[in-house]
Every structure is written in C-alpha cells, then in structure tokens.
Structure 1
C-alpha cells in the first residue's frame, strides 16, 4: 500500500489535474506602493505587510515604484497575474484624481479588483501667520475682499491639495491664486517663509509647524472632526457641504478570483482592527477606515463623479 501511495503522490506532482490546490495564500505576497518611502501609503503598506506576514506565515514584500504620479505602479499591478499575490496601495489620487486629468495607462475601474478601503488621511487647512485670518470664515471674507491676491500652494495640478483648494474656491465663490510645486514637500519652505499664503496638507507634516507657531491651523477638511483633533473645526462648519476625504485602500488585478478577494479582505479587516496597528497609524495622522470590496468600488465610483465636476468647473489641467 505504501508503494501505491508513493506512486500516487509522484503522479500528482507530474499531472496538474491530480494536484490538490493549496488554499490562498500559499506563497509570498508583493504590495506595490506608488510613491517613495515615508508617506502615508508607504506607512500603511509596511504596517499591514508586517501583520499579514505574521498572520499568514508567508513573506510579504513591500516594493516602492514611484513615478508619473503613481501611474508606473498602477500599470505594473494592472498587468500582473490575477492570482491575488500582487496588491497595489491605491490612494484616491491614483484611482480618481490622475485619471480625471487625462490619459493614464490603466482604467481605475476596469483594470482592478478592489480588496477594501484601509485609511483616511487627516488633512488640515492652514495659513501663514501673516495672513489676517483666524478661522475659515475670516479667510473667505479676506479672499473675497482681495480677489486673486491670496495664493495657495499645492503639489501640482491634480494633487490632493489642488483638488481640495479648487473645491473650496468653487463652493465659496472666491479667487485664490494657485502656485504649483513639484510635490507637497517642495511647497513647505515657501509656505513657512510666507511666500505663499494658504495650504491644505497632511496633519502629520503640518502639526509640528503649527505647534511651533510657524503656521496657523484653521480647520480639518473631512466632513466630521478628526478623532485626534476634536477641538479643531471642519471647513464644512463654515462652508456647508464642503468635505474632502483623502483615502487609500488596496486593489488587485482585475480577474482575481472572488474567493481570493474575500480572503484578502477578511484578513485586511482583521489586521486593521488590531489596536497596535491603529496606534501606529494614528501617530501618522491616519485613521483606519476598513470596508468591503463593494464599498470600496462604490467609493471610487462616487469620487469619480464628484471630482469630475470640480475638474470641469475649475478647469484643472495636467501639466
């Protein structure tokens, strides 16, 4: 009998039809980050990777593929095998903002299978202390009194800062001049020096400068107050209806089997619920926001519709 068992085992390794499929995951996972190390997508990827590796007993590799506003990484993942072993950290800047500004080498809906939302990034509206505005209402009043005289910095056309400020301008009927930079970090020196007046950016980057008195905090940009900054009002409290949600999630190549997506989502949700994961992300100004794959797909669709109107109204164009 042992001989027959040995022969059967040998045949199963040679004949694919006889092999028993191993449950997912059974080999290393690669998480592709569309930006350089250090930002919120990278922090998210490395935090999740560490926990998934412990949970699965499989290697989870984080690979940064920056360039072209995230298009290089997105294209690579869209063309990867649809087996669940390549994930993209997908912010709405990659899945929504970039595609709305023109041709990108991927379709944000057709080329990816959503795994789930993961985080929302706290963003703050700040001004240089020389600007005589201590809240959103005063800033808007000042902008209306001085049309085109105030300036705002962004990481370039199509960046979250650009989209956020153009929405604020459109909803408030104000004229604030756009000064684009090669990335959000590149804008900070001029903002701190007072060469530009207004900025919307990530809390973890801005809070040290707010605490030192080099920038004045006016508001958060989400629809609700951030849990870690409950004393800080939202822009929407002064400008009803305004909200900007900067989120990131994970996607796999389109065609990834549904059972693999379900397993990936279940374990992602499990990891994001861990108290130490929430604590690590909170220190970076990041709030956990887990979801089902369907909820992430709905968020992508809703953002594409909403921000398309902003792009048209503000005539935002790619460089």
Structure 2
C-alpha cells in the first residue's frame, strides 16, 4: 500500500512539473517570428508592399514580422520556398498575379499554383494605363480602335518584355477589340518610356508613363483595370468606356497548403483592417491602390483570372524559350 501511495505521489509531482511546460508551449508558438516571403529582390513593388503590410501586421499580432526576399527563376525560387514551408501561420507569401495565373501557363513550375497555396487576401491592385504617342491619329478608345482596324499590322505596342503583364494586356486588347497591333518587347518598362515619347512606338499598357502623360508628352486613353489611376483621376476605365475588360493586376497574400482554416480566416480578417490603413500616398507612388478581398472572394477571383490569362496566352501562341 505504501509503495502504491509513493508511486502516485511521484506521478503527481511529475505531472505538476509537466503542466507549466505544456501550458507554455502555445505561448512560445505565438511568439514565433512570422516571415513574409517575397519572390523578388528588395526595393521593388512586391517588396515595398510586403514591408508596408508586414509593419502593420507586426503591430496587430504583437510579435516580429520580417520580409524575406527570395528572388530568382522568374519568382519560382521564392514560390517554391513558400510552398514547402510549414502550414502553421508562421510563413506568408506575398506575390503578384503573374506567379499564379501567368507563369504556370508558360513554364513547368516547381510549385502547383492552385494546390500548394491558400489565398488569404488580395492586398492591392496595380493600375496600368493605356497610353499612345502624342500624335496618334485618334484620341478616344473608339477612335484608336477604328484607326487600328483600318490599318491592320501598321501600329505597334511596346512591352517590358515577352509574357510580362504589359505584353499580355496588349494581346488581350487585340483579341477582345479585334485589333491587329504588332508587339515590340523591351528589356523593361524604363526602356519603353523614350520609345513612346519619341513616337517610335504607338501604344503602351503600363503605369511608368504617367509622368509623361502629366507632362503632355503622351496621351492617356484608359485605365486597364476597374479602378481609375489616382494620378490621372480624369482618365476613365475601360469598363466606363463600355469595354468589358478588367486586366488582373493584383498583389496578394497566401499561406502554404495545410494551414488550418481558422488561421486563414484570422489572417484574412487582420488583412482587411491592414489594407484599409495602408498609406495611400506610398501606394500611389507605385501606381497601386488598396484593394481588399477576403479568402473566399480572392480564391474565386484567381480562378477567373487564371482562365482569362490561359486563354490569352494560348490564342496569342506565347512561348518562353
């Protein structure tokens, strides 16, 4: 009897020692640093948006949030790293449209865009603008489309490179509006500016030319998304001009597959408040606008965008070597 009593007493002592350890475990998990993986170098739009978002998230959570840049491979290195991370809410992924609805239709990716990630929130939308050279024979969208149709193959549109969104927007306009403009790729948006200003390129779909629009060096025709560019508030959207085109150009927050739904929902709710408070001036400098969608709505948006971009790429017969 005494022996059994001694065993029970020893067990109670051991359990008493264990309880504080078990109780402390969740607290330590909550204090774990949250990482936001960005698949591009520091200093770009994705990095800047992630840092604005991360600073606000750290205040909401009361714990450290760091941005981890993993560039390379056309964003595939960072995407793969995020996809292989634990689904415990400690690793987030901030990425643009192309990673999810463009690259997978052009290359074999080391991640499955539809299966390896769970959408948490759309954070911002990029607001590119359709721009023409100053002396283009047409000022409104209707006039420009009519002129291009009268002279198929005569006019050009420039882009920041093959299969970039600035290229795909031009192909989408050709397909949806029955235009036949010739694509001229450059090595980046910066190279495009002087070409449109000088008149060597007729049309561009980008936001880098906004300063040239404001300076009267080129003319703006329309915003390519359902939002007006904040720097060009008088320039209508394509939809306002009666054209049913809304180009997907967002930055969104994702978590790896396996992340509990409760964690996704909590991050989605936090993101709503964070997006509402993002600095409009800082976003405006990037031709961005806060544009929140929650997990379910964002998932549906991605599915629509994926179908649209797949169709554009196939019809334009776009390939990357």
TM-score band (shorter)? Answer: 0.7 to 0.9
**Residues 1:110 and 2:112 aligned together:** no
Which shows bigger deviation, 287-296 or 106-115? 287-296
Per-residue Cα deviation, 1:243-301 (whole angstroms, up to 9, x for no partner): 21311110111111222212221211111122x53443244322212122111111111
- Residue in 1 aligned with 2:286? 284
2:154 to 138, 149, 155: 149
**Runs of 5+ unmatched residues, structure 2:** 1-10
2:69 to 54, 64, 68: 64
2:234 to 227, 231, 234: 231
Following superposition of structure 1 onto structure 2, how do residues 212-227 of structure 1 map, counting pairs within 5 Å? 212-223=215-226, 225-226=228-229
CA–CA distance in structure 2, aligned partners of residues 5 and 285 of structure 1: 64
1:85 to 57, 79, 90: 90
SS in 2 for 1:69: coil
- Residue in 2 aligned with 1:315? 317
CA–CA distance in structure 2, aligned partners of residues 284 and 177 of structure 1: 28
**Residues 1:248 and 2:251 aligned together:** yes
Distance 1:290 1:299, change over 3 A: same
CA–CA distance in structure 2, aligned partners of residues 81 and 127 of structure 1: 47
SS in 1 for 2:94: strand
Please say if residues 145 and 179 of structure 2, whose CA atoms lie closer than 8 Å, have aligned partners that are also in contact.
Answer: yes
Per-residue Cα deviation, 1:151-173 (whole angstroms, up to 9, x for no partner): 11112232111111111101121
Distance 1:279 1:190, change over 3 A: closer
CA–CA distance in structure 1, aligned partners of residues 13 and 103 of structure 2: 56
CA–CA distance in structure 2, aligned partners of residues 84 and 311 of structure 1: 34
Taking structure 1 as the reference length, the TM-score comes to 0.88
Which shows bigger deviation, 191-200 or 5-14? 5-14
Per-residue Cα deviation, 1:221-245 (whole angstroms, up to 9, x for no partner): 1235456644212234445212213
Q: Higher Cα Rg: structure 1 or 2?
A: 2
CA–CA distance in structure 2, aligned partners of residues 55 and 47 of structure 1: 13
Distance 1:185 1:78, change over 3 A: farther
The alpha carbon displacement at 1:80 in A equals 1.4
- Residue in 2 aligned with 1:39? 44
**Residues 1:257 and 2:264 aligned together:** no
The alpha carbon displacement at 1:181 in A equals 2.2
- Residue in 2 aligned with 1:269? 272
1:11 to 13, 18, 30: 18
Please say if residues 118 and 291 of structure 1, whose CA atoms lie closer than 8 Å, have aligned partners that are also in contact.
Answer: yes
Distance 1:283 1:260, change over 3 A: same
The alpha carbon displacement at 1:144 in A equals 1.5
1:175 to 180, 183, 186: 180
Please say if residues 181 and 187 of structure 1, whose CA atoms lie closer than 8 Å, have aligned partners that are also in contact.
Answer: yes
- Residue in 1 aligned with 2:212? 209
The alpha carbon displacement at 1:124 in A equals 0.3
- Residue in 1 aligned with 2:8? none
CA–CA distance in structure 2, aligned partners of residues 38 and 198 of structure 1: 28
Distance 1:181 1:228, change over 3 A: closer
The alpha carbon displacement at 1:20 in A equals 4.1
